[in-house]
């Protein structure tokens, strides 16, 4: 196996009694199982391989227990259960083919009551008159993990059959379907898409699981053949030694890595703290949702939900960049004028066709603050009447509630010349700069520098202070503060 996590996951399966088949030496000669309406499932290659040395077959449908719960604006709180081949149930439901249809798929140890599913469902219904079908395969998604990975194949087949049934009996247009999934559910979505021969228009996979999937044949995991557009959000693709749960490699048409995609700010992933040794892991009680322990793994789902709720104010701008190290240096920021140089994480990605690998930064979400950061280009033209000087210039954003941003440095003890434009891209938390057109307060400070600071200009005259903010449609909006003169050594606050 390639990762220690996958090896540990296998140990969990053995310890907790999964029915496994080991490299063809099965105890009961079962290498394939078939179910009426869903076809056959095998443990032959590539389902068993060097990366997946233990194989398992899906449990029967009644044990996997997949349910399809319909939510609409007319039935937001109580799901109406749909069943394939039950035409009367479909007729009496509030399903309408004229609406867009979302399928929400939970992951390992979760259910349709997962916080991210509930919030995503509610926010989508606030924004759009849509059909929400929440897929609950909780009995099949429980531990042991090895068995859950096998059950995921059947769950995917069941989703594909439900979509086909809705096409045939409910007049569903498959081009109006969007599948949103998390964790192990990402690969469930892939299996459904594969059964539908890649006809699904869009799959959003939120931190799809790595153990037993990373590095496998594309048929075993989510891949770009499963839908016309696949967006993958990576939030916990840390190394195996740190028990990263998410798949690290780029497997979608667009792969977005918030904060580098390994660990998320503000997360102290307690899964690693709980597991002191392999023996402890084997005996650990996995009945609770894994997201309770794995904060970074769950965080991407919160990003997605926020991208729905804040569509009018903060677009989660993500930048194409060679790697995260280059992105952290600020080398990839720009105004998003060129196609595929930027995209938006989450809900608005549909409006910005792109391909490749993208990065962005978020806040830590502390104190119930939002995660999104507004992308702002600062442009400060120095007056042509300004005497040449040497010094530093800093800027701080001040929110309406008095909250201050970090301090941004536009000049650090350098020569400042008349007519020069001081320029810097910065990331401002959405809870401080709430909308692109908001005229927030700015605090600027000019400090004299050089070997003899007293010989430098006492004031710094700026023709204007321009904020170029990227809007949700990835165009820009410029807000200007005219004619600002700064006295050295003191804070100058400007606002409207």
Q: Is 261 helix (H, G, I), strand (E, B) or coil?
A: coil
**CB count in 10 Å sphere of residue 27:** 9
182 is catalytic: no
Is there a contact between 496 and 439 (Cβ–Cβ < 8 Å)? yes
Among 353, 376, 491, CA closest to 430? 376
183 is catalytic: yes
Is there a contact between 372 and 345 (Cβ–Cβ < 8 Å)? no
Sequence-distant (≥ 6) Cβ neighbours of residue 61 within 8 angstroms = 35, 38, 154, 158
User: Bridge partners of 181?
Assistant: 105, 205
Is there a contact between 421 and 380 (Cβ–Cβ < 8 Å)? yes
Please, where are the H alpha helices in 267-340? 270-274, 278-283, 295-309, 324-328
- Cα within 13 Å of Cα(171), Cβ side: 6
Q: Is 151 exposed, middle or buried (0-12, 13-18, 19+ CB in 10 A)?
A: buried
Among 443, 470, 463, CA closest to 377? 470
Pairing relation of β-strands 39-42 and 32-35?
A: antiparallel
**CB count in 10 Å sphere of residue 313:** 18
Q: How far from the centroid of its chain's Cα atoms is residue 337's Cα?
A: 23
Assigned token pair, 444: 């600027």
Among 293, 360, 339, 335, CA closest to 476? 335
Given the residues 110, 194, 207, 223, the one annotated as active site: 207
Q: Is 34 exposed, middle or buried (0-12, 13-18, 19+ CB in 10 A)?
A: exposed
What phi-psi label fits residue 212: left (phi over 0), alpha (psi between -120 and 50 degrees) or beta? left
Among 170, 118, 149, 119, CA closest to 48? 149
Given the residues 112, 182, 187, 297, the one annotated as active site: 297
49 is catalytic: no
- Torsion angles phi and psi, residue 225, rounded to 5: -80, -10
Given the residues 93, 134, 181, 183, the one annotated as active site: 183
Please, where are the H alpha helices in 75-196? 87-92, 115-127, 138-141, 145-169, 185-195
Question: Dmax of the chain from CA atoms?
Answer: 89
Q: Hey, which residues are catalytic here?
A: 183, 207, 297
């Amino acid at each position: 196996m390639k990762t220690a996590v996958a090896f540990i996951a296998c140990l969990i399966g053995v310890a907790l009694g999964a029915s496994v088949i080991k490299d063809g030496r099965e105890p009961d000669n079962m290498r394939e199982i078939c179910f009426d309406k869903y076809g056959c499932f095998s443990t032959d290659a590539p389902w068993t391989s060097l990366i997946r040395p233990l194989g398992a077959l899906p449990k029967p449908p009644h044990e996997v227990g997949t349910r399809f719960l319909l939510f609409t604006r007319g039935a937001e709180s109580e799901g109406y259960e749909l069943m394939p081949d039950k035409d009367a149930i479909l007729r009496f439901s509030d399903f309408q083919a004229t609406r867009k249809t979302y399928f929400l798929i939970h992951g390992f140890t979760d259910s349709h009551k997962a916080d991210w599913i509930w919030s995503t469902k509610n926010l989508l219904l606030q924004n759009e008159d849509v059909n929400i079908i929440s897929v609950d395969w909780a009995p099949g998604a429980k531990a042991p993990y090895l068995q859950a990975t096998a059950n995921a194949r059947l769950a995917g087949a069941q989703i594909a059959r439900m979509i086909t049934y809705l096409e045939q009996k409910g007049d569903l247009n498959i081009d109006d379907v969007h599948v949103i999934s998390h964790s192990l559910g990402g690969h469930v979505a892939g299996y459904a898409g594969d059964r539908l021969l890649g006809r699904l228009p869009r799959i959003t996979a939120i931190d799809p699981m790595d153990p037993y999937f990373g590095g496998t044949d594309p048929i075993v995991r989510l891949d770009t053949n499963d839908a016309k557009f696949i967006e993958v959000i990576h939030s916990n693709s840390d190394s195996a030694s740190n028990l990263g749960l998410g798949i690290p490699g780029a497997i979608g048409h667009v792969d977005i890595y918030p904060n580098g995609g390994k660990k998320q700010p503000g997360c102290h992933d307690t899964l690693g703290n709980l597991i002191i040794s392999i023996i402890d892991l084997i005996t650990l009680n996995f009945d609770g949702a894994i997201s309770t322990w794995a904060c970074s793994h769950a965080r991407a789902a919160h990003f997605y939900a926020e991208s729905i709720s804040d569509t009018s104010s903060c677009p989660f701008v993500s930048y194409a960049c060679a790697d995260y190290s280059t992105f952290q240096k600020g080398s990839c920021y720009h105004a998003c004028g060129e196609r595929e140089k930027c995209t938006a994480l989450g809900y608005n990605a549909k409006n910005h066709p792109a391909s490749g690998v993208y990065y962005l930064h978020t806040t830590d979400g502390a104190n119930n603050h939002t995660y999104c950061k507004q992308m702002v280009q600062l442009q400060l033209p120095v007056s042509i009447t300004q005497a040449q000087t040497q010094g530093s210039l800093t800027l701080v954003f001040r929110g309406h509630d008095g909250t201050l941003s970090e301090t941004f440095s536009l000049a650090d003890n350098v020569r400042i010349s008349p007519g020069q434009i001081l320029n810097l891209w910065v990331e401002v938390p959405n809870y401080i700069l709430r909308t692109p057109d908001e005229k927030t307060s700015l605090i600027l400070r000019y400090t004299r520098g050089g070997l003899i600071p007293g010989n430098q200009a006492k004031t710094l005259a700026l023709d204007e202070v321009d904020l170029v903010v990227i809007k949700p449609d990835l165009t820009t909006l410029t807000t200007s503060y005219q004619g600002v003169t700064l006295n050295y050594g003191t804070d100058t606050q400007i606002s409207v």
